[in-house]
A and B are shown apart, each in its own frame.
Chain A
C-alpha cells in the first residue's frame, strides 16, 4: 500500500485548503504518478486534476510531487516516493482553482508578452522561408518546450514577481524566436526585454533546469538573451 497525501481545496465547500490522506494499492508495480491519481479518483471521484495525453507531450499534468515539480504521467513512483509516502500538491505560486488545478493566467500572460510567433516583414517567397540546417540546429533545445509551467512555478523570482518577470518558460520561448534566422523583429524583441524585471530578475537559481521534464535549459537561453542585449547596447 502506498500512502498518498494530497492537497485538497474546493472553494465552494472548504474555507481553507487541507491535506487528505489516501491509501492506494499499487499491487507492487512501479506505475506512474498519474496512474496513482486515477486509482485515487476511483476512491473519490470529486478529486480534480488536469491530464490529457498521459505521455509527457501535452503538458497538462504538471504538479508538485514530494516537493519537486514534474509531469505526473512520466514520473514513475520509483523516482519520487520516499519511505513509502507520496505528497501531491498543485504547482506552487499560482492561484488554486480546485485541488491540483491551478489558474495558469499569469503564466500565459507572460508567454503572450514575448510574442511567441515568427515575425518577418520581408515579402513572403512563393514557397516556404528556407533555413540552412545549421540555422535550424540553433532551435534545438528551445522548440521542444510544452509549456507545462513546471519551470516557472519552481522559480523564486517568478513567485515574487509573476506580473513583471517573464519567467524561464517565456524566456526560453523568447530566445527561440531571437535565435530564429527567419525572424526579423530581433531589435524590437530585445528592446522589450532590457528593463530590470523581464529578463534580469533571473538570479541563476537554476530550479528551472532541475525540474524541466523535457530536459531543457532555460538558464542557458536567458544567458544567451543577456549576451544579445549586451552586444546590441554596447
Chain B
C-alpha cells in the first residue's frame, strides 16, 4: 500500500471509478450541447437563456461541472506524480490545481444561477 493524501478520493480504486463515470457524464453533456447547437442554427439569447433557466438543464450542467472538476483533479494529480519529482514543486503544483478547480467550480455555479 502506497500512502497518498492529495489525490481526489484517497484511494486508487475510487479515483479510477470516478474518472470513468465522470468521463461518461462529460461525453453525454458534450454530445447534448453539440447536438443542441446543430439543431438550433439561428440561436439567440432568449432561447439560450431559456434553456439554462430550466431546472433539469441546471442539474445536468452542474453535474457536468462537478464531473469536470473531479475528472481534472484525478487526471492532473496523476500527471504531477508522474512528471514532477521534487516534492516542493509537486505539492505546490497540486495545491494550485486544486484551488483553481475550486474557483472555477464556484464561478460556474454562480454563472448557472446568476442569469
Contact = CB atoms under 8 A, between A and B. Distances in A.
Nearest to A203: B78
A196 B1 contact: no
B4 A161 contact: no
Contacts of B4: 195-197
A110 B31 CA distance: 43
A163 to B, nearest CB: 9
A233 B11 CA distance: 11
A217 B83 CA distance: 27
Contacts of A201: 12, 78
The dominant DSSP class at the A interface is: loop
Contact of B12 (A157, A160, A195): A195
B17 interface: yes
B11 A194 contact: yes
B79 to A, nearest CB: 10
B16 A226 contact: yes
A196 B3 CA distance: 9
A22 interface: no
Contact of B82 (A160, A193, A198, A226): A160
Contact of B15 (A157, A192, A196, A198): A196
B7 interface: yes
A161 B2 CA distance: 11
Given A160-B82, A161-B82, A192 B1 contact: yes
Given A160-B82, A160-B83, A161-B81, A200 B1 contact: no
A194 B81 contact: no
15 contacts: A160-B82, A160-B83, A164-B2, A193-B1, A194-B12, A194-B13, A195-B4, A195-B12, A196-B2, A196-B77, A197-B2, A197-B12, A198-B1, A198-B12, A226-B13
Q: Which 5 A-B pairs have the closest CB atoms?
A: A200-B12, A196-B12, A197-B2, A195-B2, A160-B82
